[in-house]
Amino acid sequence: MFGTTFKYITQEFSKISDGKSSGYDIDCGLIYKFSGYSLGFLIQQGPRIKWATGTTDEGNITTKLGISKKFMFRKLYVLPAIDFVQTKNYPLYAYFGLETGYRFWVADFSLRSGINGIVVENRYSYMSKINNSINYSLGFGIKTGYLLKYYGLSEISFDYVFSIHRLGNKHRASLGVYF
């Protein structure tokens, strides 16, 4: 499978003079499945943002490579995954995740955990500084396709994650609607 995403970005900081910006970002990815494994590769251009002051910020190109394998035990599954992330002028990072899920009646329920951003090379002498404050995440998800065919939908999902991050805790929620 191949996919691409184009993002138009706007932001406004009301308490900062000329704190308005807009820009774009482009991602291209590929997923290859073989023998129960999924192998993914992603290239992110990095956002290009132009501020009201006329200055431009340009993000770094990032490449990501990940592998996962789903293990099934009747209606229960376990999915371990690892991603490697390389961004220009930064060391190589690794992300480890584990998801477990259960199919109950008409919906899939899942629990997730992860260790985010472990430096695996000592380029730029960042390894000890960053690895002393590792980020963790916990989350859950639910998805169903039950009776959605009548409304022209194939699936709907909700996901939530809480991350303990060195720059402050984060909450993220997403709703997915698939046609």
Residue 160 makes CB contacts below 8 A (sequence gap 6+) with 139, 140, 141, 171, 172, 173
CB within 8 A of 15, min separation 6: which ones? none
Same domain, 76 and 144: yes
pLDDT of residue 63: 96
Flag whether pLDDT at 133 surpasses 80: no
Same domain as 161, residue 78:
yes
H or E segment to which residue 130 belongs? helix 127-131
Residue numbers of the domain that contains 8? 1-62
Mean of the per-residue pLDDT values of the chain:
87
* DSSP element (H, E) containing 56: strand 56-58
Q: Which of 35-39, 80-84, 85-89 has the lowest mean pLDDT?
A: 85-89
Retrieve residue 89's tokens.
């002028």
Residues 93 and 142 in one domain: yes
Q: What is the mean pLDDT of residues 142-170?
A: 81
Average pLDDT over residues 130-135: 73
**Structural domains of the chain, count:** 2
pLDDT tens digits for 20-75? 888 998 999 999 999 889 999 999 988 889 988 888 888 899 999 999 999 999 88
Mark whether 85 and 48 lie in a shared domain.
no
42 and 82 share one domain: no
Q: pLDDT grade, residue 179 (50/70/90)?
A: confident
| Overall pTM > 0.75 | no
Residues 117 and 42 in one domain: no
Closest CA to 91 of 58, 42, 128, 133: 128
pLDDT single digits (tens) 26-37: 999 999 999 889
Looking up tokens 């960053």, which residue turns up? 130
